[in-house]
Amino acid sequence: MTINIKKPLQIFYGTSPQVCHYLPLQMEKKIVTEISGNNSNELNNLLTIAGFRRSHRTAYRPACNFCNACIPVRINVSKYTPNRSQKRARKAALDLTCDERPPIATREQYDLFKDYQKLRHEESEMAAMDFNEYRSMIEDTTVNTLMFEFRDKNHALIAASLTDIVENGLSGVYKFFSPKRRRDSLGTWIIDWHVQKSLANNLQYVYLGYWISGCTKMSYKSNFSGLEKLVNNTWQSF
């Protein structure tokens, strides 16, 4: 006798319109769904490939009425070749080593996170996060997630990246680094490090989230070779 057990339907819902953080003249809407249950990792794999991003126990994707500027992008690591500036960033970070840790928030991380927010996103909502809110961002996950901590020779925490491990790659949820080393292009280096990590683990892609043409905060993503974009539900060369 064969018993067919049906999986529960995945429910998606739309958010109310609000002012876009990246394009202030636009109103943003998102499609959101919960990541929970025994198949959380499988679901996160599918959603990541479909251009969704994870935050806490939910995944979201832009679904704006009059704008489609947010384009999901990823690096095909087999086609990546670092350019001159990326090689410089790699050289500048030779003193850093990585500790792979479970997604557990620490005060040390939080202090670095706050310093980073003051440098890069002082007026954002994230800049106002207290420790409990930060801890929720790090620890409230139902999927395969790691916290990569990057430390210098004195064991000082210099950078960190909350990263999901999906079926075919790595998906950076959030990264931050010390303002004291902003000239070292650590944001670029962290992505380059993820590419090397993927190659070492036979993974195909590094998911970078969204890219918006003309958005200064996202322009760095287009500097990576091997970049692919999701257009009409099909991944293609950037």
CATH number for the domain that contains residue 206? 3.40.630.30
Provide the pLDDT confidence category of residue 8 given band limits of 50, 70 and 90: low
Instruction: Verify that 63 and 154 share a domain, yes or no.
Output: no
Q: Structure tokens of 137?
A: 């961002």
- pLDDT, tens digit, 9 for 90 and up, residues 189-207: 999 999 999 999 999 999 9
Percent of the chain, pLDDT > 70?
Answer: 95
The yes-or-no verdict on residue 76 having pLDDT over 70 is yes
pLDDT at 125 (0 to 100): 73
| pLDDT number for residue 1 | 36
pLDDT band at 7; cut points 50, 70, 90: low
| 140 to 4, 69, 120, 202, 237: CA distances (angstroms) | 32, 29, 24, 28, 34
Structurally, how many domains does the chain consist of?
Answer: 2
Query: pTM of whole model > 0.85?
Result: yes
Tell me the per-residue pLDDT of 101-119, one tens digit each, with 9 for 90 and over: 999 999 999 999 999 998 7
Whether 77 and 62 share a structural domain = no
Q: Would residue 5 count as lying in a domain?
A: no
pLDDT of residue 122: 63
**Do 80 and 179 belong to one domain?**
yes
pLDDT at 124 over 80: no
